[in-house]
A and B are shown apart, each in its own frame.
Chain A
C-alpha cells in the first residue's frame, strides 16, 4: 500500500478537547496514517465514531465501492424500510472478499486501517438497529483477516455488537452479495436469482445490508463529519475520495487514495507510467481506454459513463506499450469463463464460446468469422445470468473491440501480432476451488 501524504490536520475553532475536524480537501482520508496500528492511535487521529444520519449519507452522495456503484443512502433506506415493514431486525455484512484479481484496496484497508471499516460497520448497524454484524474476508487473504481479527478484539466493550469474522471461499462470484448471503446461511457461495434482494430478504431471511468495506470506511467519516464535509473534495457528480489500485506498466504500483473524478492522465504520471497500449479501468467487468483517451478522462462515474464505463472497484490496470490488448482481454475472458458458478446455461456455455472466439481473433481473423461470432454471442449472453458475470464478460470484450480499432485491423488482416506472445500483464490467478 502506498500512502501519498503524511497525516495533516488543521486546528479546529471549536477546540476544547474535541478532535479537530480535518480540512475536507486534505488527502489522504481513508489512508491517513495514525501514529500506530492500535485502536488508541486510531481514535487519537479520528476521534470517537459519530452517529450515522441517513440524510447525511444522501447529502454526501456516496456510492458503493464494490463495483456496482449503487447509492449507499438508497441501500440503507431499503434495509430500514424492509425492517420496518416486515418487523425483522436487520443484519449488516461488510464485504471484504475482493474477488477482483487486479484490486488490492479492500485488503489494504483491512490490513492497515481496520478500525475505520469497523467504525463504519458499527455506525451502519446502529443506524439500522441491526443486532448482527459480519465481516467477510476471502480464504486467500490471511493478512487482512489477521489484522481485522486483532482490531475486532481491541473493540470489545466499545461496539454495541461484536463483529463476526467469516472467511469466504475464493472465486470471482463468491463475493457477489446474494452469494455471501447464501454462504452465511450455510449454503454454497453461489449467486441466486434476485429479487428478492438481500436488502429485503438476506441473512436468516432478515433485511441485510451488504456493503463493501471501503464504502463502510467512508460511512465512518460521514458519521463523524457529515455529508457536506465528505463531499468537500471530488466533483459535484463524483464527490469524495476513491481508493484505486494501480498496476501494470507503472513505476510505483499500489493502492492510492484520490479525489473522485481525478484526471486519469495525471494519476498515471504521478505513479510513473510509461507509454501505454491502453488502460483497463474498473476491474475485469471494466472498460478499456485507448491511450488517447487517458488524458482528460476523469476517474469518476460521469466522465467514464461517456465512454461506456464506470470506476467499478477502482482498478486502474496499465498495459505497457508493446502489449496486445486483444490477447490480454482474451486471457481475462477465458479466466472469467472459468469463474462461472456453473449454475446458468448461457454463462456456462456462452463465456467459453466468447473467450474462444476472441482467442481465434487474436490468432488472425481474415474472414471476420470470429468477430461475427463475438458480436452474436455477446448479444446472446448479456443479461441472462443470475449474477452479472455474463454481462461483465461481454462488457469487457466489447470495450476491447471498441477501444482498439487500430490494432484490431492487424488481426482482421489475418495475422497474430508479435505482441500477443509477450508475457501477460493482467493477473489471472490459478482457478479457484469451486465454492460448493
Chain B
C-alpha cells in the first residue's frame, strides 16, 4: 500500500509551498492553508510528494504509512518538536 499525505495542522503556518510543488494533491483554502486530497498517494506521485515533504519550512507535511491508524514506531520517532 502506498503512504498517505497528511498535514500537521498545528505545525503548519500556511507558507503554501506544498500547493505550488504538488498541485495534483494540495490546494489552498480561503485563508491559505493546505487541503490535501485524501487517500493513498498514487505511485507516480510518490517522488514529488517526498520532495514537497522535505521542502516544507515547518516540517508540517507528513507521509504516513497507510495502515498506521494508531501510529507506527517509525512515526513516533519523528515527532515534530512543536508537538510537545
A and B bound?
A: yes
Q: Which B residue's beta carbon lies closest to that of A377?
A: B30
Q: In the bound complex, what is the Cα–Cα distance between A196 and B30 (angstroms)?
A: 30
Q: In the bound complex, what is the Cα–Cα distance between A193 and B69 (angstroms)?
A: 13
**Contacts A182-B84, A200-B70 given; does A193 touch B30 at CB 8 Å:** no
Interface of chain B residues 1 through 34 with chain A (CB within 8 A): 7-10, 12-14, 29-33
**Contacts A201-B76, A377-B30, A384-B35 given; does A195 touch B10 at CB 8 Å:** no
- B76's partner among A193, A196, A353 (CB-CB below 8 A) is A196
**Contacts A182-B84, A195-B70, A345-B14 given; does A380 touch B9 at CB 8 Å:** no
Interface centre among B7, B13, B76, B84, by most A CB within 10 Å?
Answer: B84
- A344's partner among B9, B30, B35, B76 (CB-CB below 8 A) is B9
- A346's partner among B29, B71, B75 (CB-CB below 8 A) is B29
Which B residues are CB-close (under 8 A) to A350?
A: 29, 31
Minimum Cβ distance to chain A for residue B67 (Å):
12
Which B residues are CB-close (under 8 A) to A345?
A: 9, 12-14, 31-33
Are A380 and B35 in touch, CB under 8 angstroms? Answer: yes
Q: In the bound complex, what is the Cα–Cα distance between A201 and B32 (angstroms)?
A: 32
**Contacts A196-B71, A345-B13 given; does A380 touch B29 at CB 8 Å:** yes
Q: In the bound complex, what is the Cα–Cα distance between A195 and B4 (angstroms)?
A: 14
Interface of chain B residues 55 through 84 with chain A (CB within 8 A): 68-71, 75-76, 83-84
Total interface residues in chain B, CB < 8 Å: 21
Minimum Cβ distance to chain A for residue B29 (Å):
5
Q: Which B residue's beta carbon lies closest to that of A381?
A: B29
Are B10 and A192 in touch, CB under 8 angstroms? Answer: yes
Chain A interface, DSSP helix/strand/loop, else mixed: loop
Q: In the bound complex, what is the Cα–Cα distance between A343 and B80 (angstroms)?
A: 14
- B33's partner among A192, A196, A201, A384 (CB-CB below 8 A) is A384
Which A residues are CB-close (under 8 A) to B31?
A: 345-346, 349-350, 353
**Contacts A346-B33, A377-B30, A384-B35 given; does A193 touch B71 at CB 8 Å:** no
Interface of chain A residues 163 through 200 with chain B (CB within 8 A): 182, 185, 187, 192-193, 195-197, 200
Interface of chain A residues 352 through 384 with chain B (CB within 8 A): 353, 376-377, 380, 384
Which A residues are CB-close (under 8 A) to B84?
A: 182, 185, 187, 192
Are B10 and A344 in touch, CB under 8 angstroms? Answer: yes
- Indicate with 1 or 0, residue by residue over A368-407, a CB within 8 angstroms of chain B CB atoms: 0000000011001000111000000000000000000000
Are A195 and B69 in touch, CB under 8 angstroms? Answer: yes
Q: In the bound complex, what is the Cα–Cα distance between A75 and B72 (angstroms)?
A: 18
**Contacts A193-B83, A349-B31, A380-B35 given; does A343 touch B10 at CB 8 Å:** yes
- B10's partner among A376, A380, A386 (CB-CB below 8 A) is A386
Q: In the bound complex, what is the Cα–Cα distance between A187 and B26 (angstroms)?
A: 32
Minimum Cβ distance to chain B for residue A205 (Å):
9
Are A353 and B9 in touch, CB under 8 angstroms? Answer: no
Which B residues are CB-close (under 8 A) to A343?
A: 9-10
**Contacts A182-B84, A201-B76 given; does A193 touch B29 at CB 8 Å:** no
Which B residues are CB-close (under 8 A) to A201?
A: 71, 76
Are B10 and A193 in touch, CB under 8 angstroms? Answer: yes
Interface of chain A residues 333 through 349 with chain B (CB within 8 A): 343-347, 349
Q: Which A residue's beta carbon lies closest to that of B72?
A: A195
Chain B residues within 8 Å of A, Cβ to Cβ: 7-10, 12-14, 29-33, 35, 68-71, 75-76, 83-84
The 12 sampled A-B contact pairs (Cβ below 8 Å) are: A193-B10, A195-B68, A195-B70, A195-B71, A200-B71, A344-B9, A345-B12, A345-B33, A346-B31, A350-B29, A380-B35, A386-B8
